[in-house]
């Protein structure tokens, strides 16, 4: 993840989005010098991610603010657990509450779902990856949450990896040609991965010397065949249609990576709330 200060503009934008022209209710009803003490409470069990960002929200609203974290990113909390204790101006606590919780509930949601996938494949040697199917503006944070949950990151942007898809192959004439061109031209820091949708394409990719092959939307049976074909020469990633129900079966085929779009685009938010005293 980027160092926190580099996220300040993003957090401030989130605050402006929620505050609009100001928290009218709080400005009217809460005296400016009233202090408060707030707690973030888990209302269901989950895996914590995003705590630092969540605290930073309040720090950016007000300097006169003290926070004590009771847990850390990566901790599993139970229903009723206290995550944070904070003291500061009551207005700041109330005005920053929603943005802080919105970040925490989403990132913890991503981490929690990731952890479930990771546990589902435990012992198989397969790794759970995220994808670029993220929510616009949130990618860096979501990818961080995936790591917190025990998953691994696929490329974070189109410049952080070479992935040759069907359309690229068609434009080049053949898988072999596409792989050769990519290897020839790509920055040497990036690996070249190629997508295959059939076993025939897997074969062509292997012949062309592919280092990594993405098996796109294949049946478990075909994946198993691909593993046999590739053994010892290329590493395999499975992508498409992977759920908590079928992920173990996929993992047991012996593939190296399983990428799961829903880790980021469909993770339900966790239930967390702020209590003020």
Is there a contact between 104 and 54 (Cβ–Cβ < 8 Å)? Answer: yes
Catalytic residue among 52, 85, 87, 216: 216
**Shortest Cβ 246–a second copy spacing (Å):** 16
Is there a contact between 84 and 69 (Cβ–Cβ < 8 Å)? Answer: yes
- Kindly tell me which of 68 and 171 has the beta carbon lying closer to a second copy: 171
Coil, helix or strand at residue 179: helix
- Kindly tell me which of 18 and 119 has the beta carbon lying closer to a second copy: 18
Is there a contact between 55 and 67 (Cβ–Cβ < 8 Å)? Answer: yes
Is there a contact between 271 and 43 (Cβ–Cβ < 8 Å)? Answer: yes
Q: Is 143 a catalytic residue?
A: no
**Shortest Cβ 109–a second copy spacing (Å):** 7
Cα–Cα distance for residue pair 223/133, rounded to 1 Å:
22
Cα–Cα distance for residue pair 223/240, rounded to 1 Å:
12
Q: Is 165 a catalytic residue?
A: yes
DSSP 239: E
Q: Is 64 a catalytic residue?
A: no
**Shortest Cβ 162–a second copy spacing (Å):** 5
Catalytic residue among 133, 183, 203, 224: 133
Catalytic residue among 12, 37, 70, 98: 98
**Shortest Cβ 3–a second copy spacing (Å):** 5
- Kindly tell me which of 254 and 269 has the beta carbon lying closer to a second copy: 269
- Kindly tell me which of 203 and 235 has the beta carbon lying closer to a second copy: 235
Catalytic residue among 116, 147, 165, 262: 165
Catalytic residue among 130, 195, 237, 256: 195
**Shortest Cβ 200–a second copy spacing (Å):** 20
- Record the tokens describing residue 93, joined without a space: 């606590």
- Kindly tell me which of 105 and 253 has the beta carbon lying closer to a second copy: 105
Cα–Cα distance for residue pair 101/273, rounded to 1 Å:
7
Cα–Cα distance for residue pair 147/193, rounded to 1 Å:
21
Cα–Cα distance for residue pair 249/31, rounded to 1 Å:
59
Nearest C-alpha neighbor of 202 from the set 185, 218, 181 = 218
Is there a contact between 204 and 223 (Cβ–Cβ < 8 Å)? Answer: no
What residues act catalytically? 98, 133, 165, 195, 216
């Amino acid at each position: 993840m980027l160092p926190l200060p580099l996220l300040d503009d993003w957090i401030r934008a989130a605050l402006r989005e929620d505050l609009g022209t100001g928290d009218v209710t709080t400005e009217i009803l809460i005296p400016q010098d009233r202090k408060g003490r707030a707690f973030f409470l888990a209302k269901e069990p989950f895996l914590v991610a995003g705590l630092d960002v969540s605290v930073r929200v309040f720090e950016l609203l007000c300097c006169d603010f003290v926070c004590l974290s009771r847990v850390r990113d990566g901790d599993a909390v139970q229903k009723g657990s206290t995550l944070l204790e904070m003291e500061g101006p009551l207005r700041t606590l109330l005005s920053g509450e929603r943005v802080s919780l919105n970040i925490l509930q989403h990132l913890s949601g991503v981490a929690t779902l990731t952890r479930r996938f990771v546990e589902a494949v435990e012992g198989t040697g397969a790794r759970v990856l995220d994808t670029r199917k993220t929510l616009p503006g949130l990618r860096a944070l979501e990818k961080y949450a995936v790591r917190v949950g025990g998953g691994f990151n696929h490329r974070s942007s189109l410049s952080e990896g070479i992935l040759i898809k069907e359309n690229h192959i068609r434009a080049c004439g053949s898988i072999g040609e596409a792989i050769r061109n990519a290897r020839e031209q790509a920055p040497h820091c990036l690996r070249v991965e190629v997508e295959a949708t059939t076993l025939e394409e897997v074969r062509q990719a292997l012949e062309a010397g592919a280092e990594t092959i993405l098996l796109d939307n294949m049946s478990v049976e075909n994946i198993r065949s691909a593993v046999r074909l590739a053994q010892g020469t290329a590493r395999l990633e499975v992508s498409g249609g992977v759920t908590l129900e079928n992920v173990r079966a996929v993992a047991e085929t012996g593939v190296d990576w399983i990428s799961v779009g829903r880790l980021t685009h469909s993770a339900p938010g966790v239930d967390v709330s702020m209590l003020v005293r």
